[in-house]
Amino acid sequence: MKRDRYLPVVLTREQVGMLIDSMDNYKHKAITATMYSSGLRVSEVCRLRYEDISRSKKMIHVPVSKNRQDRYTILSDRNLEILTEYWYRYGRPRGWLFPSTVRDEPLTTSAVELFVKAHAWALGLPEGVTPHTLRHSFACHALEDGVSHTFIQQLLGHRSPGSTDVYLLMTSKALMGIRSPYDTFAPSDTEGVCNG
């Protein structure tokens, strides 16, 4: 029995920027920026530790994740600035990078889900925005920028290339430089088709 498959929600770059930049809570801002800029799952960002951030190598170490394997992903300059500001504002945490405020444990994924969904709704962003939307948006925007499918697969920690293929369906074909063959016709090729 075949089941319908729906494409996930993807935000534009402008929408991602609005979501992150408008957050007054700096901890929320740092978490959201890290999920988008590095393509992390919500469970992965919650379990980051101070030592997982490599400022000199511009990388983030992602400990054993969904696929039970370690990996490294990129650390953007803009996100590093936000993380540094967050770290100073929130008592320079040395264990969990984003600790819970009630116990010595990482922030829960449900807490992140709540504030991302609430903020997206308040901004009037498309329905269905979740923390995973930021991961989808990262992958699509990277493809549009010419990053190879293989590199994106590695950054996201996908075991199978098929898991990354869905982003090929969702990216802007114009930004990827893909044109319809019809747009390559010379003007004379289409003139005089309808003469009456």
pLDDT tens figures, 16-52: 999 999 999 999 999 999 999 999 999 999 999 999 9
Cα(first)–Cα(last) distance of the chain, in Å?
A: 49
164-to-97, 151, 170 alpha-carbon distances in Å: 28, 10, 11
- The model's pLDDT over 96-135, given as tens digits with 9 standing for 90+, comes to 999 998 878 899 999 999 999 999 999 999 999 999 999 8
pLDDT band at 140 (very low <50, low <70, confident <90, very high): confident
Residue 66 lies in a domain: yes
Q: Is the pLDDT of residue 5 over 70?
A: no
Residue 172 lies in a domain: no
User: Catalytic: 13?
Assistant: no
Residue 147 lies in a domain: no
Residue 2 lies in a domain: no
The kind and range of the H/E element at 73 are strand 71-74
AA letter at 106: P
User: Catalytic: 135?
Assistant: yes
Residue 30 lies in a domain: yes
Helices (H) and strands (E) in the chain, counts: 9, 3
Residue 103 lies in a domain: yes
Residues in a beta bridge with 60: 53, 73
CA 188/CA 20 separation, integer angstroms: 49
CA 113/CA 128 separation, integer angstroms: 11
* Of 192 and 131, more confident: 131
Q: Domain total for the chain?
A: 1
SS3 35: helix
Q: Which of 41, 47, 71, 119 is catalytic?
A: 41
Q: Which range marks the domain in which residue 61 is found?
A: 13-131
- pTM, 2 dp: 0.80
Q: What percent of the chain has pLDDT over 70?
A: 74
* Of 155 and 75, more confident: 75
* Residues 6+ away with beta carbon under 8 Å from 164: 139, 149, 152, 153, 156, 158
- CATH of residue 122's domain is 1.10.443.10
User: Catalytic: 132?
Assistant: yes
Q: Which of 66, 89, 173, 179 is catalytic?
A: 66
Give the closest residue to 48 by CA, choosing from 36, 32, 31: 31
User: Catalytic: 167?
Assistant: yes
Quote the DSSP letter at residue 191: T
Residue 188 lies in a domain: no
Instruction: Tell me which range, 94-108, 119-133, 159-173, 177-191, is most confidently predicted by mean pLDDT.
Output: 119-133
Residue 8 lies in a domain: no
Q: Which of 47, 135, 136, 141 is catalytic?
A: 135
